[in-house]
Structure 1
Amino acid sequence: MTNLTADKNVKALQRLLSIMEELREQCPWNSKQTLESLRHLTIGKTDELSEAILAGNLEALKQKLGDLIWHVVFYSKIAAEQNAFDIGDVINGVCDKLVVHHPPLHTVASEAESQHHGNLSTPPEKDPNQSLLVDIQASLPALIKALRIQEQAHRIGFDWPNQAEVWEKVEEEIRELKQCQEAGHPQAQLENEWGDLLFSLVNYARFIHINPESALEQANRKFIKRFHYMEQAAQRDGKNLPDLSLAEMDTYWEAAKKNLN
């Protein structure tokens, strides 16, 4: 990074921090926000960022990244008011973590930095009584959480030996779900069997190197695209989609599959 670029970035961050200070003091809305009140807004901004990435819209991506940086600064400001930490602590914290997990960075760290941060060559020891799954966030979407759980189990060797056996497990779970449904078992048990099936499918996705979240999102977007085609095709024919029979809708659906990628 050139000195000019670095100077530009430092000035941009300083400007943002200055605006944060001013708004926190003078803006009624900003001054009353708390960590809890911002949380659901941050979730919304993260969803918008995801949409920009999926759409390949770099201008929107830039804007949404800005929104998230603003939220990081906002959380840090509130925490600083509570004498917990500030934005500098946040940035240094992630820098320390990167150095810990990427040994080549040690070669460019100064002796003074090493003394300041302590011995970064060895990650902090974990409590031996602590679960290996403790770092998996409870708030993660269930599909991603399943993948993270399975990845962690794999790291300690608790995993299926091969892809074929994973697929056998998927087929077993399908049979159990069908048997549960046919036997008229309670809804809670049916839901439990469905969860087992989905968990096993996530595991199979991992074995064939597919991100289940990305794959499901692609399927969602494909369905939406085809459904919009159906609606528009029906309108061109002077028809209202909800008024059509299933057979008529299937005709439009097959046309959508044929004409769209």
Structure 2
Amino acid sequence: MAPSPIDRLRAIMVRLRDPETGCPWDKVQTFASIAPHTLEEAYEVVDAIERGTTADLRDELGDLLFQVVYHACLAEEQGLFTFDDVATAMADKLVRRHPHVFGDEAVRDAQAQTQAWERQKAAERAARAAASGQAPSVLDGVTQALPALSRAQKLGQRVAPVGFDWPTPAAVFEKLDEEVRELQDELTAGSDPELVAGELGDMLFVVAQLARKLGQDPERALRLANAKFERRFRHVEAGLAARGQSPADATLDEMEELWADAKRRERSGKTALA
């Protein structure tokens, strides 16, 4: 009987890590050396979703699954845990956090479920803190490895239920205006670069909270802005090339003219030079 796809994948991973016959690169990897690849694969899954390419999504999910198998293989070699332990822990967590599905608790709607989910996670964090002898915090479990904008939003999301939040988006705009002024003041004063970085960080933190209040993902919003910038600048390059120029020998006014043309074309549904 042929092995299941997941068992075949796990067996391949073991072969790759074999001390004698395995792949020279795979044999020397560690949790730490693989971690950047894990993060990269997660982002590539998101990219495939946003591009709407189903075939790419299938492949990228496979790459991400392989990362899970890789880490589980490393752990099993060290006697820490196995892939089955990972899957079992996840299944147990899902059952525990969905008593309205697997138990007797009734949940009215998605918002009520979200609140119940957060209560369950808070209870789990408190239990972990108690087991470690540390005082619990509402900020426990907000991983340091998150992208900075996402972590800023998550921190704001954690403290909002205890009342530490702006009441409306308008109030966040007021705070943003304040942070912009403080950054301008530091720049005018010729402050230490670290002080400027601190004020810039404060401004970005508030922007992340504005995104949260608007129900937006700041990372996705910035990815969209990056894509827009790249699309428009490529239009600038193409327009200059048609004139026998490059950005290096064009004036800012000439580039701004083509940039404005790119914006007009996007609004009218055109995406390339005529």
- What is the TM-score with the length of structure 2 in the denominator? 0.81
**Corresponding residue to 1:217 among 213, 223, 248:** 223
Residue 76 of structure 1 aligns to which amino acid in structure 2?
A
Change (3 A) 1:33 1:183: closer
2:14 corresponding residue in structure 1: 21
Q: CA deviation at 1:33?
A: 2.2
Aligned length in residues: 241
2:116 corresponding residue in structure 1: none
CA distance in 2 between counterparts of 1:68 and 1:250 reads 41
2:186 corresponding residue in structure 1: 180
Q: What is the CA RMSD across the aligned residues, in angstroms?
A: 2.1
Identical aligned residues as a percent: 34
1:63 corresponding residue in structure 2: 59
Helix, strand or coil at the partner of 1:134: coil
Asked whether the 8 Å contact 1:180–1:190 carries over to 2, the reply is: yes
| Structure 1 unmatched runs, 5+ | 1-7, 109-120
CA distance in 2 between counterparts of 1:161 and 1:254 reads 37
**Corresponding residue to 2:205 among 189, 195, 199:** 199
- What is the TM-score with the length of structure 1 in the denominator? 0.85
Matched, 1:105 2:84: no
Q: CA deviation at 1:221?
A: 0.4
What does residue range 154-169 of structure 1 map to in structure 2 within 5 Å? Answer: 154-169=160-175
Matched, 1:12 2:8: no
| Structure 2 unmatched runs, 5+ | 105-119, 268-274
Q: CA deviation at 1:50?
A: 2.8
CA distance in 2 between counterparts of 1:79 and 1:165 reads 48
CA distance in 2 between counterparts of 1:35 and 1:199 reads 30
Helix, strand or coil at the partner of 1:260: helix
What does residue range 1-261 of structure 1 map to in structure 2 within 5 Å? Answer: 11-25=4-18, 26-29=21-24, 30-107=26-103, 123-124=123-124, 125-126=126-127, 127=129, 129-261=135-267
Q: CA deviation at 1:23?
A: 2.5
Asked whether the 8 Å contact 1:226–1:260 carries over to 2, the reply is: no
Q: Identify the range of structure 1 (99-108 vs 74-83) with the bigger mean alpha-carbon deviation.
A: 99-108
Helix, strand or coil at the partner of 1:83: coil
Residue 73 of structure 1 aligns to which amino acid in structure 2?
V
